[in-house]
Structure 1
Amino acid sequence: MPGPEFPIGPFRLDPAEPRASLIETIAAAPARLAGAVERLPDDRLDQPYRNWTARQIVHHLADSHMHSVIRFKWALTEERPTIKAYDERAWAALADSRDGDVADSLALLAALHARWTTLLRSMTEAQFERTFDHPESGETVRLADALAYYAWHGRHHTAQIEWLAARPA
């Protein structure tokens, strides 16, 4: 069985979800991911979960969340910037994602989320209303909505690894 596509359900924007809760989810994400990886034996890091291995999922989170932090900073310092999209499948196929030590991405995520959380906690209501344009979807994205998405995104991929860890090899 390849695992459910959305182990925690698909992303749904909930405007009633407290921003502080979303920020705490971002803050806690690296430790939760590290705990999930710890429960997955090293020889199963290359076990597929749908289209990617657990190793690729960990590296994808580092790649994706680096992009997100940069998108936040662009939106905070430029007027409605058009962000740079990237081909996540192609990035996941690169050698560092296929074969790299997950400890590197776990450390990167811990440091990145610490910085990101500092930024998020400093932002005003007006700053969360700032936007960026996504060139692939054509959408204008509010930072408040991007925060909700990336809080979900970290939980989503961590749940994939937790799903693998909970099953026999």
Structure 2
Amino acid sequence: MELDQLKYPIGQFNCPEIITEDILNNWISEIQHFPEQIVAVTDGLSKEELHWKYRPYGWNIKQVVHHCADSHSNALIRFKLALTENNPTIKPYAEDVWAELIDGTDDDISYSLLILKGLHHKWHLLMVNMDEKDWEKTYFHPESNKSFTLKSVAGLYAWHCNHHLAHIKQALLHKNNF
């Protein structure tokens, strides 16, 4: 398997030009159900298995779980900023450095799973109560120097959920043979 396939097992996110109601509802559902899916795929993993990586020089399973809690916490906050401010500039963060902090390398993933459960509940509640005008609200990302609609961001994070679920499954499949 090529390194790019290992890095992007489901491919990179490509936002459709037209986001239909069905597409958006599917994304909302994927975000809603992510916590139960990540719990199912990590349930009962040993300490050794939590150290398995999905690709050479990639994160191990526990870092992926902790990263999802960090990333999705930021996503919820970015959603709320966009809903309450006019095209706010969001703050990027160094994901790779965060993944090396003690809470990103801790063998106990249960607290990150609890964070995901709670924040995805809040996020889902927010999304199912948004109207079309809300979905068109934006935030500005200084790293890409452009604004993103919340509608497109929902797609990005639905992809992000599936992307990291695939990473965990990949690590389990390869059993750290990288």
Q: TM-score range by the shorter chain?
A: over 0.9
Do the aligned partners of 1:40 and 1:164 also contact (CA within 8 Å) in 2? Answer: no
Task: Identify the match of residue 26 of structure 2 among 21, 37, 42.
Answer: 21
- Count of residue pairs the alignment pairs up: 169
Instruction: Tell whether the 8 Å contact from 2:138 to 2:149 is kept in structure 1 after alignment.
Output: yes
Partner of 2:6: 4
Match of 2:70 in 1: 63
Q: How far has the Cα of 1:40 moved from its partner? A: 4.1
- Aligned match for 1:122, one of 129, 132, 135: 129
Which deviates further from its counterpart, 60-69 or 96-105? 96-105
Deviation digits for residues 69-94 of structure 1 (CA, Å, limit 9, x no counterpart): 00000000001100111110110010
The answer for the alignment partner of 1:133 in structure 2 is 140
Cα distance change on mapping 1:23 and 1:119 into 2, 3 Å: same
Paired residue secondary structure (1:165): helix
Alpha-carbon distance in 2 for matches of 1:155, 1:39: 20
Q: 1-side partners of 2:120 and 2:163: how far apart? A: 16
What is the RMSD of the two structures over their aligned residues, measured on CA atoms?
Answer: 1.7
| 1:18–1:59 Cα change, 3 Å | same
1:49 counterpart residue number: 54
TM-score normalised according to structure 2 size: 0.89
Letter in 1 for 2:34: A
CA apart distance, 1:68 = 0.4
Pair 1:89 & 2:90 matched: no
Query: Is the contact between residue 89 and residue 142 of structure 2 (CA under 8 Å) also seen in structure 1?
Result: yes
SS in 1 for 2:43: helix
Unaligned 5+ runs, structure 1: none
Give the ranges of 4+ consecutive aligned residues of structure 1 lying more than 6 Å apart after TM superposition: none
CA distance in 2, matches of 1:168, 1:100: 17
Contact 2:49 2:175 in 1 (8 A): no
